[in-house]
Amino acid sequence: MEYRFTNDVLFKWLFSKNQHLLKSLIAGMLDVRIESIEEFVVTNPDIPPEVVGEKLCRLDISMIVDGRRVGAEVQVANEGDYPERSLYYWAREYSSALQAGQEYIDLPRTIVISILGFKLFDCDEYFSEHMALEVTRHTLLTDRLCLKYYELPKLPEVTDPTDELGLWLALFDAKTEEDLKRIEDMEVPVMKQAIGAYRTATATDEFRQLERMRADARNREASALGHARREGIAIGEEAEREKWQGVVADKDAELADKDAELADKDAELADKDAELADKDAELADKDAEIERLRAQLKQQNGNS
């Protein structure tokens, strides 16, 4: 497949423009019937071209589903920080829901769904759900926090045609046209719609232009990292070097402050020395005056 469903530009483009498909996917991931969803709004459907060109941009989809805030994103590569990043994503969604004048109790349940192209947890299950629990009694602190993770490499090899969520995940995991055809041949209506929408989307010039911009951003990032490696500058070493350079700079600044303080003390002592010298000169003048007066008095006594 030229483009997989885990491509972040395709994910945002396809499901923002085909919200009935997104609604079906989210219903399966929230474990509710699609018919039961009354309110379904995508709050960030646009893909500004200038944003796509940013290598660190995350093309997630944010929704309101029956009063709940739901965020969904795909991540292919394990960058080592995904649990923290997904928690930050949740915090961003959760905190942005509080309007002026509202009470904290009014904050909605916020769910972040992550579809991952790598293994994140040390377990056999492909689905993991995390909430805020007390560590020994396992009592729930609040239902407002919910993180759902789907790890595609752990999916079973055979997908049950009656398992709609399993079919969606198999679609995200599809790597070849044969994988796509195998799902299509199961004659599940929503899967045929999704694959048809996929083929339509990937054939458009607008999508291909956005994907080229995205690929260019990824290539620039890869080239920068490759250049750093070729020059023998490992990112970790560079960070460590910058850290110690900062420490040395701080020490230099501290020593400069000490030198300035000592210079001020030296200037103060010099002023004191000058003041004492003036006093000595004044005393010498007094002594000379006394000696002159004594001599004058002695002379007067001798004359008399």
Percent over 70 (pLDDT), the chain: 91
pLDDT tens per residue, range 189-198: 999 999 999 9
pLDDT tens per residue, range 213-241: 888 877 776 566 566 666 766 666 677 77
Judged against a pLDDT cut of 90, whether residue 291 lies above it is answered with no
In order, the DSSP letters of 87-154 are HHHHHHHHHHT--TT--GGGPPPEEEEEEESS--SSSS-SEEEEEEE-TTT--EEEEEEEEEEEEGGG
Q: What is the pLDDT of residue 230?
A: 65
pLDDT tens per residue, range 35-88: 999 999 999 998 877 777 665 567 899 999 999 999 999 999 898 999 999 999
The dihedrals phi and psi of 154, each to the nearest 5 degrees, come to -95, 0
Quickly state the pLDDT bin for 294 (edges 50, 70, 90): confident
Alpha-carbon distance of 2 to 214, in angstroms, equals 14
Average pLDDT, rounded, for the chain:
88
Judged against a pLDDT cut of 90, whether residue 200 lies above it is answered with yes
